Structure 1
């Protein structure tokens, strides 16, 4: 009987082994059956390239796979009419279908404060004052002015609890706007009632528009920190952020003021985290100069130094809270031969794309996409998939320079 039991035991073990083996094979076969079939670039583009309108609102699903993202960045060429129209459609779409309510901008912290008040109130003098301040820059054009008017009208048409909010992240380019923002943050009516000291001097300097405002407010913050914070109340965090931003601005100017400097991207990222820490559960959208929106360093016509870390990279990879949650949308100007050659050099799969002079959108991160893992962004320094850099491309057949504001 004992021998029989042993035989039965061995037989049971054999059967168990066979069944286990069959189970493993079955699971492997099922797994293979569920594996996503990878398409060729030609097949994928043929299936996913779609025509879009810049004049009409987009329907749900137009941007494709975006559900896991918290920050959306679109990369523009400054001062181009079609880019302003694309920005309108993106804001509408992301607000309507993704609940994006926080706009981040390639403007100074101070300009953001002023324009935030404009889009909440519709006070036209705030907008015209801003446009007058930026005369001589790429942003001083009719398209920018009309875009901001549209943004204000769109915002005021929304229920108050659904309205958009606006934040500037860049250095303090326009000092008159810096002083204007600080004056707006000072809500007290009688600063002359302050006791003599550093704070009173600083407040008066800001109110007078004195060029010494920075040194005096910095001194007040150091020598009378409690009184200074109490004076500004809830607005102090913004006044303090302007102070920090001004310090970076002075460094930026001292280093030569290169538009594509690493200092600017670093500073925009720091200012973004200041905003993000106040609204960590919210979603954000911003349109910046194209290079700032890449999620990896790339050699480009912008002339950045090797290893330059764009703003998009700093958000996506420098902090785990946003890792993999930043979506980069490239506005790609087909008629710009330099840009066309530049992007085609990096994305080999686009070389045979047929656009037929239409505004088109290609979502690169859909099911079966070869751009997620297989198609490499052609770069000498590193080999990474295209979707490590950008996730969407909007092809713009025309590139219309917007006329100068007020002319």
Structure 2
């Protein structure tokens, strides 16, 4: 028996080493490198939303990507994720009526984009990285849908994003009372910084760190060289934070 143990022990150790090595190799093969693809749009442009769908469909089908970042608050993304599991468009209609992605008839182009994503890319998961809008009724409504026991982390995050909107609104009120350039710059700088912080929060909590993001062109490359405040635009801050995994394109400049 002692002789048998002496023979089996090194064999067992060798087998364990082979198994561990195989697991490590499998993990290395399945793990995809982090990548952030940011696309700057003209809000509500039919041409841009068509390009956005084509790009996302390509990443979805060919790369197996599932995480799509949008310039909306996190609770709007939460509504969209619930809508993806529903058989009707009731949630989408509520968003259309209460949350203004853009003005007037531009809304229909986002509706078309989202419906195509639901139909052809059904495993898409939306993430919102903007601050809350002026009307928090959507945020309050979303909080009522969450389970206080199971969804505490999400509840806290939604409240935080709503607080961000309140702070921005306070800055706007100050500007209306005393229209100084410094007050106007503070509004723009604060929102840009929150876009960055919210993005980092969502991205760092992902398991699959390969995402496509749709944002206003100003936040991605500022092609018209607008100057609203002193803060760097969102994409430049993300490049400084994450390095060369961040790539940026303006949809209007793409063939």
TM > 0.5 fold call:
yes
Per the normalisation by structure 2, the TM-score is 0.75
Aligned equivalents of 1:327, 1:247: Cα separation in 2: 30
2:199 paired residue number: 272
CA contact (8 A) 2:117 2:124 kept: no
Q: Is the partner of 1:234 in helix, strand or coil?
A: coil
Q: Alignment partner of 2:85: what SS?
A: helix
Inter-partner Cα distance in structure 1 for 2:150 and 2:240: 31
Q: 1 or 2 for the larger relative contact order (CA 8 Å, sep ≥6)? A: 2
C-alpha change, 1:99 and 1:110, in structure 2 (3 Å) is same
Equivalent position SS for 1:292: helix
Q: CA deviation at 1:135?
A: 5.0
How well do the aligned residues superpose, as a CA RMSD in angstroms? 2.5
User: What TM-score does the superposition give when structure 1 sets the normalisation length?
Assistant: 0.48
Aligned pair in 2 of structure 1 residues 331, 135: CA closer, same or farther (>3 Å)? closer
SS of 2:151's partner is: helix
What is the alpha-carbon distance in structure 1 between the residues aligned to residue 87 and residue 195 of structure 2?
27
- 1:178 and 2:139 aligned: yes
State the shift of 1:310 in Å.
1.4
**Residues 302 and 123 from structure 1, CA distance in 2 versus in 1: closer, same or farther, beyond 3 angstroms?**
farther
Determine the C-alpha separation between the residues in 2 that align with 1:270 and 1:100: 23
Partner of 1:76: 41
Distance 1:71 1:241, change over 3 A: same
Asked if the contact 1:133–1:177 (Cα under 8 Å) also holds between the matched residues in 2, the reply is yes
Q: Report which of the two has the higher share of helix.
A: 2
Corresponding residue for residue 88 of structure 1: 53
Partner of 2:73: 108
Alignment of 1:315-334 (within 5 A): 315-318=238-241, 322-332=242-252
Mapped partners of 2:101, 2:161: distance in 1:
22
Aligned to 2:153: 237
Question: Which of 62, 80, 94 is equivalent to 1:97?
Answer: 62
| Aligned position for 1:125 | 90
Number of residue pairs matched by the alignment: 211
Gaps of 5+ in 2: 1-31, 174-183
C-alpha distance after superposition, 1:212-265 (max 9, x if no partner): xxxxxxxxxxxxxxxxxxxx2331111101111122111111112869812122
Query: How do residues 363-382 of structure 1 correspond to structure 2 at under 5 angstroms?
Result: none
